[in-house]
Amino acid sequence: MPESGFRLAHVIRKFKHLFLSGDRIFVSLRALSVVTALAFALIYSKQMGVERRGLLTFVMTTNLVFSILLISGISLHLRNLVRRVDVELVLGGYLTAVMFFSLFTPALNFLVLKSYESIFGSQIPNNLFYVSALYCFFSTLSYGMHDALLLIKSLKIASVMDLGVVFIQIAGYLTLIYVGETSYFVSVLIAISISYLVMVSAIFVLLIYAFNPKLNLSLKFLKKLFFDSSTPTLVNLANQLLERVDKVFLGLQIGASDLGRFSTSQSVVGVLRFLPDALSKLSIARDKNYLRWKLSSFRTILASLFLPVALAELASLFTRYFLGQEWVLPALMLLSIAFLEVTRGFHSLVVMNAIRAEAYRGLKRITLSQIVCGLFIQPFAIHFYGLWGSILTSLFIFIGGIYAMRVHINV
């Protein structure tokens, strides 16, 4: 091989080493990006008001639900698979599938917004439909591309992208507000869409340079992918969908104002969930069980009781100070939301352990039960009990899932 060929191979090896490192950096930058994103959310929430913030939450949540439904299970299955096979064998097909499925979410979100109009008898301006469609396309594409970094175990680059995207969103939003040509609602979605476009372009160029994947999408590949990833899709659907589908039901039944207050409080309370979320991703990437902590029962119980109380008090003070009294939920409801978020984080780690162990049969039964509760019982609970119905149903789903997996799957 000529000397230039050796030099190029050496550069590519160093570039891949940069890709495949950075566990501590991943967790640290993940924390920083979550806090920065929360600060950005508080800024635009206060400027938009409760009603518009609720509608924005509805648009973002419905799109995320569709993205999870189309992409997340496939990504999780392939991330588990590359522990045993070469990533180059699946990367090209995955990237092509992500691009293909990203075309569907704008149309699905359009149908949901039309349903929102008919239920509440409100008129959503046409420009909001257009910018929502743009946001949905790039949001789904960025969701899949970010998972591509996890697929190749590029944790350092993924964490840098997380933080960089938030800074681009803030800069874009402030620029659009300064120009004054668009509303707060449109400015948020445009700024986020631009940041996702930048992230998708950067990730795609990096992947092409480092791996040169062959982009193809055959019917045979799709059939095999869907069949092999059916259980991870179902599991990730339950884990991710049940985290957000309550906001869809709340938006359709209680209106945008209460949804705006609920989602803002949940965002503040859930800021510490960056740790279980990051550990869940690391669990698959590093094939490691992060629940093997040697803690006494007393310390575990004490932490479980203290953390939700501290989070609830923090959320109340934070929301009242930065947004005003109209955004604050009752103290008992905030405490319940805090306990729910702590439980949700623990649940995600237990699920990742079950997937690593490939305990698919038992996991599928538990997951189906959770989906039934989330999709069929939760709407009725919200209809009769409002926000409390959503909180208590979610708690029942996650606590029941943790108990069933610990007892019947032993993870």
Asked if pLDDT for residue 190 goes beyond 90, the answer is yes
Residue whose C-alpha is closest to residue 185's, from 122, 125, 139, 245:
125
Report pLDDT for 18.
Answer: 42
What is the band of 283 on the pLDDT scale with cuts at 50, 70, 90?
A: confident
DSSP type of residue 22: -
What is the band of 240 on the pLDDT scale with cuts at 50, 70, 90?
A: low
Percent of the chain at pLDDT > 70 equals 89
Say if CB 316 and CB 337 are below 8 A apart: no
The neighbour count for residue 327, using CB atoms within 10 Å, is 21
Mean pLDDT of 293-312: 64
Q: Which amino acid is at 338?
A: A
368: helix, coil or strand? helix
Per the prediction, the chain carries an average pLDDT of 80
Q: Tell me the CA distances in angstroms from 323 to 46, 337, 378, one per residue in order.
A: 6, 19, 29
Non-local CB neighbours of 124 within 8 Å, separated by 6+ positions: 55, 113, 116, 117
- Specify which of 7-11, 205-209, 360-364 reaches the highest per-range mean pLDDT: 205-209
Helices 50-67 + 23-48 axis angle, to 10: 140
Asked if pLDDT for residue 8 goes beyond 70, the answer is no
Q: Which two tokens stand for residue 193?
A: 């869409």
pLDDT (tens digit per residue) in 112-164: 888 888 877 777 788 888 898 999 999 999 988 988 888 888 888 888 898 99
Q: What are phi and psi of 398, to 5 degrees?
A: -75, -40
- What's the pTM? 0.72
What is the band of 22 on the pLDDT scale with cuts at 50, 70, 90?
A: low
Say if CB 191 and CB 60 are below 8 A apart: no
The neighbour count for residue 96, using CB atoms within 10 Å, is 18
